[in-house]
Amino acid sequence: MHSEAVASRSADQRDSRESRNGSTPHLDAVSRAIIEQLQEDGRRPYAAIGKAVGLSEAAVRQRVQKLLDQGVMQIVAVTDPLTVGFRRQAMVGVNVEGDVEHVADALTAMPEVEYVVMTAGSYDLLAEIVCEDDDHLLDVINKRIRALPGVRSTESFVYLKLKKQTYMWGTR
């Protein structure tokens, strides 16, 4: 697993198709190439990126800042949860009575919840949870998620082994 990655999700977890001002930013070929360079190595020097994409170091720095400001991407360190003491991961499907937004907001506020998405299908929400162990996972699901007003039911999918996790979807 890479220690650094560029995720093409906005920094404040808004819909990834919209910039912070609500419009969809236009990504030209050079911006896409810069993103690809950073996805390969989030610490790649701007001078090296500039050489690869045909811009000066200063121009790359300016483009990267614009992409960050627009919420097109964020540059983050990505860890393997197992190596930092989190032994249990799960995806939890949640069915909601009433306003899904309220439950989604409550899930988003939980530190163990890494990912929340509203869905169409068998579940109203999917939430990825990272916990220290099975007891911690049970506590989060049973005492915190199921206790949220509006939660009708949950179904948990405990991860046994992570086979693939990438952050390369941003430019294809």
The pLDDT value recorded for residue 15 is: 43
pLDDT in tens, 17-48: 444 455 677 889 999 999 989 988 889 999 99
Backbone φ and ψ for 39, nearest 5 degrees, come out as: -70, -35
pLDDT band at 164 (very low <50, low <70, confident <90, very high): confident
Complete DSSP assignment for 130-168: EESSHHHHHIIIIIIITTSTTEEEEEEEE-S--------
pLDDT band at 85 (very low <50, low <70, confident <90, very high): low
Residue, of 107 and 171, whose pLDDT is higher: 107
Among 82-86, 98-102, 108-112, the minimum mean pLDDT is found in: 82-86
* Residue 171 DSSP one-character state: G
pLDDT band at 100 (very low <50, low <70, confident <90, very high): very high
Query: What is the spatial distance between Cα 160 and Cα 172, in angstroms, rounded to a whole number?
Result: 29
**Number of neighbouring beta carbons within 10 Å of residue 22:** 8
Residues 112-126: what's their mean pLDDT? 96
pLDDT over 70 (residue 58): yes
Query: What is the spatial distance between Cα 128 and Cα 114, in angstroms, rounded to a whole number?
Result: 6
- When the pLDDT of each residue in the chain is averaged and rounded to a whole number, the result is 84
pTM of the model: 0.69
Complete DSSP assignment for 70-108: TTS-EEEE---GGGGT--EEEEEEEEESS-HHHHHHHHH
For residue 106, give both structure tokens: 């409550």
Residues 112-132: what's their mean pLDDT? 95
Q: Which residues pair with 136 in a beta bridge?
A: none
